[in-house]
Structure 1
């Protein structure tokens, strides 16, 4: 389905019934990466997944937008659906979006789920993300795939689940390079540390113990600075925990949602 919100056309899917649970995807991906985990979430509410601007089947927007713009897109989409409140969840870039949403709209949340994400990528983030964006623009997506596969998945996972890895690779290759670069630059500028104290809703934080992209120290920082939060470190997993371990992640999310 399509929605024209906040000046951009977003593609989204919504299934199930009950409380709204909005789940945002990671950089270069789309809402379809949550298909392995959707059935577990549907037991607890109406599940909304959407393609962020510049991703999937959503509008390819010009550079210059921010993570805060992604949060505003989500707010407008939730209102478009006739809802006021939601549980907001996100993986990586989707988690950055969820953090920005929680800081901007703390009274519009029933709960917050943050998977393999951060409030800030560090001192060198602007330079590092600029380099990654430039590499994508000049060399294409193949080096992006080569760089990320070992960061996103444990060593044995590609052989054990080639279908899921193929889906991730296919989605990444379909991402518009200029939009990928724009999103990367937005992540490089993202810093929501000062706003974390505004978040007071129940919050679940998940991270793979071997995640090199947003390591456990970043998750621990979120946990220490979000008052009503719980942290689970998942042994042996890397950056794409909902894709690599949907049953385990779905169980943890389900237990959390059951308590809300």
Structure 2
């Protein structure tokens, strides 16, 4: 990743394939990095898209974080990257935390994106049951009790089902200390802001691994799709990191969506 954008004490590393095709910006999950989108990057670049991947602060090559990782800082970083590259209303693609982040950017700045693709992430604005609220509050304290040496393996096995995807997840998770990972998880929770009446103002694609058992995604994403009046794409032979467990199926889903989004760059009304 040869390019650097310096923001608030962090040298954010990113890669940009360039060109004048439809810009697509990929944002990774908590504890992961740009490597997780290798298959999507090559696939879409070969189809003429301008593909941008990046490492959020404190992740991958964007270390040290400079300032604590928060939802607000992540939103500011992604908006700054888009503006730095002068991207013309890119398609935002986010996996897990990256999906929560991309949702938040579209909600705050609907003028900034032409479409949104969410992979294995819950809906930021969904109403939460008392059980879900309890689990959200308990997650960070529970993570804090796991020995640091065991955390990368446990998180990898919970996230992916194929050996290659699990191996890369262990590599990525191993780059963060337990304290850093817990801080990132707390920031993920910050994105949740129930607003049942909210509808995504740009074309939306929802992708979920058939075997994703993370949080409430297996139940929340179908409900989200129904509320938005769209069909979710369920990826077979895939867990929480569907784009690495079954990259071909995810690539085809993204390609199919990009082919039908309106040619106009105006937000959906």
TM-score norm. by structure 1 comes to: 0.86
Partner of 1:251: 252
User: Which moved further from structure 2: 173-182 or 44-53?
Assistant: 173-182
Q: CA deviation at 1:33?
A: 1.2
Partner of 1:15: 17
- Tell me how far apart the structure 2 counterparts of residues 79 and 132 of structure 1 sit (CA, whole Å): 38
Q: CA deviation at 1:230?
A: 3.6
Whether the 8 Å CA contact 2:237–2:246 is kept in 1: the answer is no
Aligned CA RMSD, in angstroms, stands at: 2.3
Among residues 29, 34, 50, which one is paired with 2:32 in the alignment? 29
1:170-209 CA deviation, whole Å, 9 max, x = no partner?
1211224332121011123331332872522111100012
Question: Closer, same or farther in 2 for the Cα pair 1:62/1:16, shift >3 Å?
Answer: closer
Matched, 1:4 2:6: yes
Whether the 8 Å CA contact 1:99–1:192 is kept in 2: the answer is no
- Tell me how far apart the structure 2 counterparts of residues 41 and 12 of structure 1 sit (CA, whole Å): 17
User: Larger RCO: Structure 1 or Structure 2 (Cα < 8 Å, ≥ 6 residues apart)?
Assistant: 1
- Tell me how far apart the structure 1 counterparts of residues 197 and 41 of structure 2 sit (CA, whole Å): 28
- Tell me how far apart the structure 2 counterparts of residues 112 and 253 of structure 1 sit (CA, whole Å): 10
Partner of 2:179: 178
Q: CA deviation at 1:16?
A: 4.5
Partner of 1:89: 93
Partner of 1:235: 236
**Which structure 2 segments of 5+ residues have no match?**
262-269
Q: Which ranges of 4 or more aligned residues in structure 1 deviate by more than 6 Å?
A: none
Partner of 2:264: none
1:148-183 CA deviation, whole Å, 9 max, x = no partner?
2332223xx22xx4xx43222112112243321210
Whether the 8 Å CA contact 2:156–2:167 is kept in 1: the answer is no
Question: Closer, same or farther in 2 for the Cα pair 1:126/1:152, shift >3 Å?
Answer: closer
Whether the 8 Å CA contact 1:25–1:31 is kept in 2: the answer is yes
1:149-164 to structure 2, matched below 5 A, reads: 149-154=156-161, 157-158=162-163, 161=164, 164=165
Question: Closer, same or farther in 2 for the Cα pair 1:224/1:68, shift >3 Å?
Answer: farther
Question: Closer, same or farther in 2 for the Cα pair 1:226/1:59, shift >3 Å?
Answer: farther
Partner of 1:165: 166
**Which structure 1 segments of 5+ residues have no match?**
none
1:36-115 to structure 2, matched below 5 A, reads: 36-42=39-45, 43-61=47-65, 65-115=69-119
Q: CA deviation at 1:65?
A: 4.2
Matched, 1:127 2:137: yes
Question: Closer, same or farther in 2 for the Cα pair 1:4/1:89, shift >3 Å?
Answer: same
